[in-house]
Amino acid sequence: MSFAQVNAEKLRICWGIKRGRRLVCGEPVADGAIIEEVKRLIEELRRRVEKHKDRLESAAFIDELINLLERWLEEHENDRGRKIKEAKRIARKMVKLLKKLRRRWVETYWRQLLELMEMLERNAIDIIVTGSNNGEKSLMVHLYNKDVTIEVNKVAKSESVTIRLTLKGLGGDNVKVANTFSDEKLLKAVQYGWEMTDGTIKDNHPTMGTTQPWQAILWTLCYPNKIHIYISGINMDEDGASIMWDLTAKDHRARSKKEVAKEVERLGTERLKAFMAPAVWGDGDVDVKKSIRLIMGLAKYDLWLGIIERLVNELGFTMYPVEYRVEVAVWTNRAVRLARDWLAIPDLKELIELGASLPGGEKFKRIIELASKDIKERGKNSSINIPGTDISMSIHIDSHYKVELRAWRRYENETLSLVEELEKAGYEPSIYADRGGHVVSIMHAKIRDSPLKPIVCKKLSDLLNKARNEKRRKKISKAMRNLKCFDNA
């Protein structure tokens, strides 16, 4: 079956009024701009359902996840580790719920989704609208059938559109998970990482909503005892349909993010590193080219401010704003060291290795690969590590045979952080613009009259011995004379 173009001119569009658990039609929407935006959202819904209808109708998107989890269970049948044993219990419960979803999808939900699309074509359904079209708030379209609700959401401060089907009558199940953590304080830090990012609160209990199987399993392991698991709906994005898991830790009391933020600010440095692991798993990114990044909306910035200050001062992170979000990142050697520190903690190592084995666990594989990278000096052979800091700077020789130490940074905040670290260690750096970023420099005179001189001279001597080109040898030799490397004084 193919879906005809929706007759947008005759759509019945109204503002939603809360009545019970659902919205009902209130006043008709009169704002022309909102009506046009609603038409665009309805057309996007039609387009995505049409694009994915073969996989939706056949329930292939459910079958694939069942197959992935069953294959994972089979591959790890003989594994006896503490965490993997509990993970298998959770995965089996997820498979059971997926099979129930498949039956209901084929029997009920798919048919009701088709009915909603057909009612849109015939203009036989009220299109209920909430929110705003001013860019500061989301604009949402709601469509109701007996057991299926469609929500089409234009995300605030963005042109992106999310589509979610909420499914009624699936129920859920409980799974009891043993405590596999050897360090209770570490477990608290890990829980804080979830709670400051993707975690929410339901009936005063910690809750997680996710479409990622690895996240459903790892989160559950981090809240020992009774967990309620149910499938709340289907997300339909450009790439396909994904299943939304809702998990609630019934034996744990929830803490507000404000409370958690205060607790995180009191953690020791090693526990702060542990806190960052699940925060990055949920809201971050790992690049094997040596970067670890945490991303948050501007709305969370005030809440995170005290934590960010510690990340910058203690772990070498850099903060910078990007459009409607804030990014906190650590690069190169520091990123490698952080990944290694995570893997040096037995409980975290087990979680990371487990995550890497699960469907969708590519981020964990990148953490393991990042930790295996060599820690190298910047600028290859021409760099030195600056004593008293965690900074590498490359050696440059100008046309007058003067030596300069340089470190290039793209972002102003990162540049200022570098300068501050150098100044705290007693150096006198300068800054200038270059290649769309900033160069932090220690000039020839500041090197010659500082403890850096013997270090730079030794590096220049090494470079001189390795230089194959006579012109380069002369350049290095003249620079060493200018720096007075050959003086016995």
DSSP result, 43-105: HHHHHHHHHHHHHHHHTHHHHHHHHHHHHHHHHTTT---HHHHHHHHHHHHHHHHHHHHHHHI
Which of 124, 108, 215 has the alpha carbon at shortest distance from 165?
Answer: 108
CB distance 84 to 90 below 8 Å: no
Give the pLDDT of residue 367.
Answer: 97
To the question of domain 380-482 being in CATH 3.10.28, the answer is: yes
- Residue 379: predicted pLDDT: 42
DSSP 8-state secondary structure symbol assigned to residue 441: E
Using an 8 Å Cβ cutoff, are 59 and 176 in contact? no
**pLDDT tens figures, 227-246:** 999 999 999 999 999 999 99
Residue type, 266: R
Q: What is the pLDDT of residue 1?
A: 45
Which three-class secondary structure string do you get for 277-340? Answer: HHHHHHHEEEECCCEEEEEEEHHHHHHHHHHHHHHHHHHCCEEEEECCEEEEEEEHHHHHHHHH
Judged on CB neighbours under 10 Å (0-12, 13-18, 19+), 471 is exposed
Q: Do domains 257-371 and 380-482 have the same CATH topology?
A: yes
Between CA 377 and CA 405 the distance in angstroms is: 13
Contact 312, 318 (CB under 8 A): yes
* Regions in the chain scoring below 70 on pLDDT: 1-10, 135, 376-381, 488-489
What is the tens place of the pLDDT at every residue in 76-101? 999 989 999 999 999 999 999 999 99
Which pLDDT does position 378 carry in this prediction? 45
Sign, Cα dihedral of 328, 334, 335, 339 = negative
Q: What is the pTM of this model?
A: 0.78
Structural domain boundaries in the chain:
8-249, 257-371, 380-482
Classify domain 257-371 by CATH architecture: Roll (3.10)
The predicted pLDDT at position 3 comes to 53
